Structure 1
Amino acid sequence: MKFTTQNPQKTLHLVSLGCTKNLVDSEVMLSKLSEYKLTNDPETADVIIVNTCGFIDSAKQESINTVLDLDTQRKEESVLVMAGCLSERYKEELQKELVEVDIFTGVGDYDKIDELVHEKRSHFANEVFLQTDENERVITGSSYHAYIKLSEGCNQTCSFCAIPSFKGKLFSRTLDSLVKEVRNLVAKGYFDFSFVSQDSSSYLRDHGINDGLEQLIENIEAISGVKTARILYLYPSTTTIKLIDKVTASPIFQNYFDMPLQHISQNMLKIMKRGKGSEKLRELMQHMRNVPNSFVRTTFIVGHPGETQKDFEELCTYVKEYGFDRANVFAYSDEEGTDAFLREDKIDEKTINKRAEILGDIINQVTQNSLNKELGKMVNVFVDGESEEHEYLLSARNTLWAPEIDGEIYINDNELNGEITFGQQYHARITEIAGDKLLATIVS
C-alpha cells in the first residue's frame, strides 16, 4: 500500500507490507515525518521506507524483493529505510547482507523514525512500540474508517508461529488510551473502526482482566459519533460465548467474527498447540454462526508437520459444511524458532501445495455460496468512490464487512433524488452477482 501527503520540501515514499497492524505503525511514521511531501514515485523520493512483514516465507520474500526493487529505482542521494517485523526478526543477518539499505530499524522505533532519518542511523529498541492516544497518526485509505491497535505481542504458543519470538509477550494498551484515541478520531470525522491485534480476545489479560473486550465494547458504545465497529483476530481459547453474546447485543459492534482456526481435527489442534479441543471449538463456531446476520471469517494452515490425510479430509468436510463467509488458506512453511520447525514428521512440498489447492477451491465455493445468499437483501453500505472497474460503477462496502479483505459491492443504480456522497452510509438492495462481486441499488 502506498501513500501520499504534502510539503514543498523533501519527499517521502513509504510502502507498508503485511497486516493492518503494520499499517497502523506506518501511519505513526507518516505523522512523525509530516514535514516530508509524500510521493508515489520512488525515483524522485529523498527518503524511501519499507515497513516489512516477517510472518511467513512468501511475506518475507515480498519484503526483500520490495527493498531490492526500490533500491534499483531510487536516486543516488536518497535514504533507504528497512523497518518492521522482518527487519527486527533477522536484524543481524540483514544488516550484514543488505548493503543496499541505509537505515535499519525494527518494531520498537516507529515513533523515533524522524530522528533516525535525520541522523541517518540504524537502531533497534529493546521493547516493541505500542501506539497510545498521544501518538499522532496520518490515517490512510479512508475518510471515515480507521484501524485501532489493541495490543502488541502474544502469550499463545502456537507451534507454527514465530511472532512472539520478535514481538514478545502480550502488551495491551490501557482502555483509557483506546477511548481517547477513538474520541480524537471521531472529532476528526471518523465513525467506523476496526480493532486489531495479534490476539484481540486476550486484550487486557496481561493486566489480570479477563473481559477486556467486553469492557471495550461498552466504552466504545458510549462515545457519541461512533456508528459502526468490528473486532478482528479472535483466538479460540480466549473467546467466550459471553463475548459473542456481547457483540451480538451491541448496537455499534457488527456481528463480525474473525477467528483464525488453522485446523479443526483434534489431532492437529493438539499438535499446533491451539489451546481448545475440536468439540468445544465447533460449539463456539456454531454459536457464532447462529447469531442473526453474522459474518464469519477464518484462516487455515494445511501441510503442517503431522497432518495426516484423514486430518486434511476432516478439515475439508468441516469447511464445506460450516458455511464460512470468507476464509483463507496458507500452505505451511517452516519458520525458525518454532516447535513445528523442529518436528521430523514434515510433509513434502508437493503434497502441501496440492492440499492448499484443494482447500482453496472449497473456500472459493463456500465464499460464492455466501455471496449468493445476499441476493435480494437490503444492506447498509459505505460508498467509497468510483470503482476501478468502470467510471459508472461506484465502489461500496457492506458495513458488516472489514475493509479491503471481505470484498467490494458495485453500486450501479440509484433511486435517490440527487448525487451520492462518498464516505457516507446508505441503504442498498443487492440485485445481482457478477463473478465475485455483488451489484446493488442505492435505495435510501
Structure 2
Amino acid sequence: MKMYMISLGCAKNQVDSEMIVGFMQQDKENILVDNPEDADLLMVNTCAFIESAREEAINTILDLASYKKRDSKLVVLGCLSQRYKDELIDELPEVDLFISIKDYDRIAELLNGLFNKTIFSSTSHLSHLRRTYKTPPYMRYIRISDGCLNRCAFCAIPLIRGLLKSRTIEDIKSEVKQAVDEGVYEINLISQDTTKYGWDLYKKLALVDLLKELVSIEGNFKIRLLYLYPDIVTDELIDFIKNNPKVMPYFDIPLQHSEDKILKLMKRRGMRDFLVELIAKIRKEIPNAIFRTTMIVGFPQETEEDVDSLIEFMKETKFDRLGAFTYSPEEGTLGATYDGQIAEDVKQERYNRVMEAQFYISLEQNRKQIGRILDVMIEDYDDESYMYTGRSYGFAPDDIDGAIYVAAKEELKPGDVCKVKILDADSYTLTGEQIEKN
C-alpha cells in the first residue's frame, strides 16, 4: 500500500505521525510516498489548539480530498478528530475515517476495517523505538510525557490529550541511546509540561533524575529542554544544567503574560515578581543562558495598561526570543466563559505592539553574541548569501528562533558541528565565520 501523511501542529504531533507511519511500515509492502496523487491511503494528523490551527486542518483535509481516487481512502487523525469527531463526520463526508488519539492502540483494527482486508498487523502497536523520522538525521524530538495536569483557563490541551502520562526513565533512555547510536547530535525533549515529568509515575518531579540517566549515555550529543513551566523550574534543575555541558543552557519558559491580574484569570501559578526573580536567578547562575517565551495578548479583561506593563516587563527581563499569540476562546475552557472578551482588531493591534517591542529586544540580545565563539550545527547552504546556515544551542529547531549564517573554510554538510566566531547580528539571525576546520 502507498501511504501519504501530512502532520500539522507541534513537534508532539509530529512524534505521533512518525510512530504511526513507523508502525505501518513494519510490512515492507507499505511505503510512504511524496506525492498525494500516488497514494492509496491519504492521512492528515491534525492540530486543534486554536481556531487558526483548526482552519488550517480543515483546509488541508479538503485539499487532500481532491487527490482521492476511486479506491483510495482519506483518514483524519490527531487533536481535531479527538475533539470534534462527531460533528466532523457529517460536515466532512470526503473523509473515510476519523481516528481519535484515544483510539491509536486500535489503529490496525480500524484501518483493516476501512479497507475490509488485513493490511496492518493487529498484534503490534505504536512504539517510540519504531518511528519513521521526518526530522534530519542529526536531530530528533523525544517525547517524555503526554497530557497535562495544569488547568490554564486559555488551554484546551487537557481536554484533548488528558492528564499527564509520563514514560518511564528506562524507556526514554533506550530511545535516546538508540538516537545517539544512530549519530543524532541534538536531542530535543518535549511534552506539554516538561518540568512536571514523572509526577504521575514517581510521585515527584523526576526531570533531573531523567537527565542524570541521559547524560550518562556515551557519545557526542546535546540535550535541549522545551516547554518548562516557570513555577517548577527548580534550583536543582538550574544547578544540573549549569554543571552538565551535555544539557544546553536554553530555557524555553512559556509565561503567557506578566501581569498578576491576567495571570490569575489565566489560572497560572507564579506572579510577576516571581517571574522577574526567576529569570534573574538563572542569568546569575548561568550567564550564557538563552531564554525563550510565549505571550498571549487579548485575554479577557486585559487593558491597554496591562499591555503597557507587559512591554515594560519584556524590556526588564530581556528574553532573547519571544513569540506571541492573540487569544482564541476555546470551547470548554474557563477563559471562553469570562466577561470582557476583546475584539479581534484590538487583539491584533496589541500583538503588533508586543512583537515590535520584542524586535528591538532580540536585536539587543543578539548583538551581545558578537565576538563569541559558538559551536554551530550546520543545516543548509544559502545560495543567495553563499553561506551555510545552522544553529547553536541558542536556536531551537524548525525555524522557531532564526539561524546563524556561516562563512566556511571548507565544504560542510548537514549535521557537521564547527566553531564559529560571531561577527554581526540582527533580530533573528547571527552571522559569523568558521575559525577552524573540523
The question of a shared fold, defined as TM-score above 0.5 by the shorter chain, is answered with yes
Distance of aligned partners of 1:201 and 1:436 in 2 relative to their CA distance in 1, 3 Å threshold: closer
Aligned counterpart, 1:204: 198
Q: Residues of 1 paired with 2:357 and 2:103: CA distance? A: 42
Secondary structure at the aligned position of 2:406 is classed as: strand
1:164 aligns with 2:158: yes
2:254 to 250, 260, 274: 260
CA contact under 8 A between 1:376 and 1:431: conserved in structure 2?
yes
Q: Deviations over 1:220-242 (max 9, x none)?
A: 11000152111100112222232
2:372 corresponds in structure 1 to: 377
Match of 2:14 among 23, 29, 53: 23
Whether the aligned pair in 1 keeps the contact of 2:375 and 2:419 (CA below 8 Å) is yes
Tell me how far apart the structure 2 counterparts of residues 341 and 326 of structure 1 sit (CA, whole Å).
28
SS of 1:396's equivalent in the other structure is strand
C-alpha deviation, 1:207, in angstroms: 2.5
1:131 Cα shift?
A: 6.8
Displacement after TM superposition at 1:214 (Å): 0.8
Q: Is 2:168–2:201's contact at 8 Å kept on the other side of the alignment?
A: no
Shift of 1:110: 4.1
Report how far residue 367 of structure 1 moved.
Answer: 1.9
Indicate the residue corresponding to 1:303 in structure 2: 298
| Residues 306, 345 of structure 1: 8 Å contact kept | yes
Look up the equivalent residue of 2:371 and give its one-letter code.
Answer: G
> Aligned in 2, Cα 1:275/1:114: closer, same or farther, shift over 3 Å?
same
Q: Say whether residues 1:425 and 2:417 are aligned partners.
A: yes
Quote the residue 1:85 is aligned against: 79
Deviations for 1:384-435, whole angstroms, at most 9, x for unmatched residues?
A: 2323x53832221113422121222222332xxx532431211111223477
Is residue 330 of structure 2 the alignment partner of residue 339 of structure 1?
A: no
Counterpart mapping for 1:45-64 below 5 A: 45-64=39-58
Does structure 1 conserve the Cα–Cα contact (< 8 Å) formed by 2:367 and 2:426? no
**Structure 1 residues 66, 158: CA separation in 2 closer, same or farther (over 3 Å shift)?**
same
* Residues 385 and 423 in structure 1, CA contact (< 8 A), matched pair in contact too: no
Query: Which residue of structure 1 aligns with residue 91 of structure 2?
Result: 97
User: Could you tell me which of 387, 399, 402 is aligned with 2:396?
Assistant: 402
**Letter in structure 2 aligned against 1:369:** E
**What is the rounded CA distance, in whole Å, between the counterparts of 2:99 and 2:171 in structure 1?**
25
Residue 122 (structure 2) aligns with: none
Could you tell me whether the CA contact under 8 Å between 2:41 and 2:72 is conserved in 1? yes
Residue correspondence of structure 1 range 318-337 to structure 2 within 5 A: 318-337=313-332
3-state SS in 2 of match to 1:280: helix
Match of 2:429 in 1: 437
Work out whether residues 28 and 111 of structure 1, in 8 Å CA contact, stay in contact via their aligned partners in 2.
no
Aligned-partner Cα distance in 2 for 1:96–1:230: 42
- CA distance in 1: counterparts of 2:203 and 2:240, whole angstroms: 16
Whole-Å separation in 2 of the counterparts to 1:326 and 1:17: 23
1:38-49 matched pairs, under 5 angstroms:
38-49=32-43
Give, as a single letter, the amino acid of the residue that structure 2 aligns with 1:385.
D
Q: What is the deviation of 1:371? A: 2.3
SS at structure 2 position matched to 1:401: coil
The worse-fitting range, judged by mean Cα deviation, of 396-405 and 52-61 is 396-405
| TM-superposition CA deviations, 1:319-373 (whole Å, max 9, x none) | 1222111111100111000001111221222211111111111122222222222
The AA in structure 2 aligned to 1:360 is M
Q: What are the ranges of 5 or more consecutive residues in structure 1 without an aligned counterpart? A: 1-9, 123-129
CA distance in 2, matches of 1:393, 1:119: 52
On the 8 A contact 1:32/1:111 being kept in 2, the answer is no
Identity %: 37
| Residue 214, structure 1, aligned to residue 208, structure 2 | yes
- Quickly say closer, same or farther: Cα 1:369–1:109, change in 2 above 3 A: farther
SS of 2:308 mapped into structure 1: helix
In structure 2, what is the Cα distance between the partners aligned to 1:131 and 1:277? Answer: 40
Equivalence map 1:382-397=2 (5 Å): 382-387=377-382, 389-390=383-384, 392-397=386-391
8 Å contact from structure 1 (residues 237, 274) kept in 2: no
Distance 1:121 1:260 in 2: 43
Once residues 425 and 112 of structure 1 are traced to their aligned partners in structure 2, the CA distance between those partners, rounded to angstroms, is 42
Q: 2: distance between equivalents of 1:440 and 1:73?
A: 45
Q: How does 1:46-195 map to 2 (within 5 A)?
A: 46-110=40-104, 112-120=106-114, 133=128, 135-195=129-189
**Shift in CA distance, 390/76, structure 1 to aligned 2, threshold 3 Å:** farther
Change over 3 Å in CA distance of 1:435–1:231 after alignment to 2: closer
Correspondence 1:294 to 2:289: yes
Q: Counterparts of 1:271 and 1:344 in 2: how far apart (Å)?
A: 11
Distance 2:303 2:108 in 1: 50
Q: CA offsets, 1:155-174, max 9 Å, x none?
A: 10101111111211111111
Gaps of 5+ in 2: 117-124
Match of 1:73, SS state, is coil
CA drift at 1:132 = 5.4
Q: Do the aligned residues in 2 keep the contact of 1:301 with 1:329 (CA within 8 Å)?
A: yes
Q: Could you report, residue by residue, the CA deviation over 1:82-140 in whole angstroms, capped at 9, with x for unpaired residues?
A: 10011101111112211111111121344654543333179xxxxxxx9755x411222
Q: Which amino acid aligns with 1:440?
A: G
Output the CA distance in 1 between the equivalents of 2:380 and 2:202: 44
- Relative to 1, partners in 2 of residues 1:114 and 1:190: Cα closer, same or farther, differing over 3 Å? farther
Indicate conservation of the 8 Å contact 1:132/1:177, yes or no: no
Which residue is equivalent to 2:270? 276
- With normalisation by structure 2, the TM-score equals 0.91
Corresponding residue of 2:5 = 14
